[in-house]
A and B are shown apart, each in its own frame.
Chain A
Amino acid sequence: MHPFRFAALCVAACIVLVLILYAFADKPNDKKNGFTRKVLPQAATLKSSLELKYPAYYIAGHTGEHIYLGNYSASLHLLTVDQNLKDTQQLTLKIPAGERYAWKLARIMVDSPAVYMAEGSTPTLYRGKLGDLQMSRFLRRSCFFNVLQNVSATSFISRSIHMGSLGNGQNILVKIKTDSPYVSLGKDVIKKQVDGIFCTDGTLDYDRQTGKLVYVYHYRNEFIALDTNLHTLYTGHTLDTNTRAKIQVAKLPTGVSKFSAPPAYVNSLARVANKRIYILSTLVADNEHWQARRDKEIIDVYSLDNGAYIHTLYIPLKGEGRISDFMVKGDQLFAVCDHTLNAYTILRN
């Protein structure tokens, strides 16, 4: 066959083949998800937004007046901005010269007047004051962790991998304190469904007002409310019907585990404030348009007292970026989307 005729035919055949594959592929929200939402109209309005110079910012905490942003790619950098997203200030944490830590994993937590920087693979924790940002090592008797939440000046809750007798790792919650017994395990709080690590992934947040911790699973419709001694207060359920994590995990000969199919996200992020749990959902309800998430994020609001569903907020997005981190403070919601920090006013009824 003539080369160019063959080329044309071949390109056409490839396009048809790949489009057929695409047509038959499982796409999220392709089918009805089997639940409905109670959407508050006009519940969130964009008040102001701030262009961030760099990508990879996350919310490190807040004080009465200010919001603090940390950056995944610059571990000592701290950006502060007031509630109206004006008056930005660049800060740098000061650590003693020659210190070594896994800076790519380090996260900053602001809990005025203290500021912490922690990294769980060595593990290394630093503590300092917001006033002078002089950080020094502390809590040397901690444990390895992959998530850390500060609870008070003397205690933290971490999520760590607990090695079973068969060598199978599983995520568990751990309380780390500055005094004896230093480390205590919260056994059977996080429940294994598939592999113990991926299937139990989720968001941990702490409400200072009520002293409650909440752990929201990424891949199932479940969240746990805990006290700071890691006693389960109740298990709540998000609206959707995913009781079991729809994920497939392959264990490689090197010992590393990897997803072997696209994971079905349910709840991508959660934050606690105002005696409410705010859960950023990736699923579309049956009473919503299938493209409901195209220009907005969906946040379901639950009661922190008993985990009951209250209502849903639509957070309008501007531009392409989706919410990678958010926090709620009174009737304000701050969200990091790509290169911007957006401030919204939300209804609290």
Chain B
Amino acid sequence: MLRKAVVETICLLFILLFVYTAVSKFIDYENFRAVIGQSPLITRFAPVLAIIVPLAEIGIALLLVIPRFRRAGLYASFAMMTLFTVYIVVLVTLSDKIPCSCGGVISIMSWTQHLYFNIVFVALALLGMWLYTKLAHV
């Protein structure tokens, strides 16, 4: 019972996170596109990524909402958060300072805060994946 509640909470947290950041990216689309262009790693792909990233976030949130696809949603959340986290680590260690536009209040965080925030979410996704698998086997 407790496990189920934990999985539900994790899913809810991810739905909130992804919907919130995706919507704020879409609302502020022009700005988001300009700012991710300033990142040397993705300058070339900025126009495409500015659409794909928020769409993918909405997609994952949908997967998490529909019970049949919840497992896939958790896996996708983990993949997404890992990608963001690795991107931040590489950018901060190998590149000069870059501004971020992750959406809404999340943009206010410093790089270190950002890293901790992401790592917490990566861990949550991992926990969710693990608990979900155990639940399925019971």
Contact = CB atoms under 8 A, between A and B. Distances in A.
B82 interface: yes
Contact of B33 (A3, A25, A250): A250
Interface string A1-44: 01110110011001101110110011100000000000000000
A250 B82 contact: no
A261 B82 contact: no
Given A261-B38, A261-B43, A252 B31 contact: yes
A164 interface: no
A253 B31 CA distance: 9
Contacts of A248: 37
Chain B contact-residue range equals: 20 to 34
Contacts of B12: none
Given A25-B41, A248-B37, A2 B133 contact: yes
B41 A18 contact: yes
A260 interface: yes
A261 B34 CA distance: 7
A259 interface: yes
A14 B83 contact: yes
B87 A259 contact: no
Given A258-B31, A258-B34, A258-B35, A26 B82 contact: no
Contacts of B78: 6-7, 10
B53 interface: no
A261 B83 CA distance: 21
Main secondary structure of the interface of B (DSSP, over half): helix
A262 interface: yes
B75 A26 contact: no
B129 A3 contact: yes
A7 B43 CA distance: 28
Contact of A14 (B34, B75, B86): B86
Contacts of A18: 41, 83, 86-87, 90
Contacts, number: 78
A19 to B, nearest CB: 7
Contacts of B85: 14
A262 B130 contact: no
A326 B101 CA distance: 33
A258 B38 CA distance: 9
B16 interface: no
B94 interface: yes
Interface residues of A, number: 26
Nearest to A256: B31
A18 B90 CA distance: 7
A26 to B, nearest CB: 6
A17 B34 contact: no
B90 A6 contact: no
Interface in B11-33: 30-31, 33
Interface in A239-275: 248, 250, 252-253, 258-262
Contacts of A25: 40-41, 43
Nearest to A21: B41
A282 to B, nearest CB: 11
Given A250-B34, A261-B43, A262-B43, A6 B129 contact: yes
Contacts of A6: 75, 78, 129
Contacts of A15: 86
Contact of A260 (B34, B79, B86): B34
Given A3-B130, A21-B42, A25-B40, A10 B82 contact: yes
Contacts of A2: 133
Interface in A119-152: none
Interface in A218-258: 248, 250, 252-253, 258
5 contacts: A10-B82, A18-B41, A25-B41, A253-B30, A261-B38
Interface of A: 2-4, 6-7, 10-11, 14-15, 17-19, 21-22, 25-27, 248, 250, 252-253, 258-262
Interface of B: 30-31, 33-35, 37-43, 46, 75, 78-79, 82-83, 85-87, 90, 94-95, 98, 126, 129-130, 132-133
Given A3-B126, A14-B85, 4 more contacts: A253-B30, A258-B38, A261-B37, A261-B43
